[in-house]
Amino acid sequence: MKITVNTHKLFGHRATLRTAKQLAEPAARLVNRSVPGRMPDVQITLTNPRGLAELATTAEAELAGGVDKRVRDREERHAAREARDVAGRAVPLMDGSVLVLINVDQNASPGEFAITLVHELVHAMQFSRKGVRERIIRDRRDAFKVERQSRRHAREHERGLADEEREAYSREYLADQIVPGANAA
């Protein structure tokens, strides 16, 4: 398990980067102990909403393989609309590692940042479970119009996403162990 923290298209946030580096290792250890699965290598990238959409779409297009440029641009525009309201996002990468994108505009305090980090690291752990990565790849291939998935697989993916989100929200209390009072607000 290797954790790296960097920024993308983000200027003047040295203190935020320093805070992220301080919180990343303890958060990864806590999540690794309390969530079933294996923590993969994680690359945490702090960015703005536009950078979040750009990086997530690029990683997902690579995961889907053979993506048409027009479809990719359409998906990026859709992701950019959603990214304004998203605090973070975890995307599996082809090499087995996970890209965790954090929107600094949505995480104003260290407590909020710790909650988002724990939530996204839980998703990183979930990607290591049997069948999850394959299900996500199948869904991304369908979203990028590379290969259609059956309705049964689409329903299975939606149920899996709902279960994974429930689990990630249920583990956010761990942020209190990193930043005391994080969940108080």
In order along its 185 residues, the chain shows pLDDT tens digits of: 899 999 999 888 898 999 999 999 999 999 999 999 999 999 999 999 999 999 999 999 999 988 899 999 999 999 999 999 999 999 999 999 999 999 999 998 999 999 999 999 999 999 999 999 999 999 999 999 899 999 999 999 999 999 999 999 999 999 999 999 888 75
Position 101 in a domain: yes
Provide the pairing of β-strand 98-103 with 42-47. parallel
pLDDT single digits (tens) 76-124: 999 999 999 999 999 999 999 999 999 999 998 999 999 999 999 999 9
Give the domain extent around 51. Answer: 3-178
Position 68 in a domain: yes
Position 185 in a domain: no
Position 64 in a domain: yes
Strand partners of residue 92:
98
Position 7 in a domain: yes
Position 184 in a domain: no
Q: What is the pLDDT of residue 185?
A: 56
Q: Cα-flanking dihedrals φ and ψ of residue 178, to 5°?
A: -90, -50
The residue type at 87: A
Query: For the chain, how many structural domains are there in total?
Result: 1
Provide the pairing of β-strand 88-92 with 3-8. unpaired
**What does pTM read for this prediction?**
0.94
Largest CA distance in the chain: 47
End-to-end CA distance of the chain: 31
Contacts of 177 by beta carbon, 8 Å cutoff, 6+ apart: 26, 30
Q: How far is 132 from 49, CA to CA, in rounded Å?
A: 26
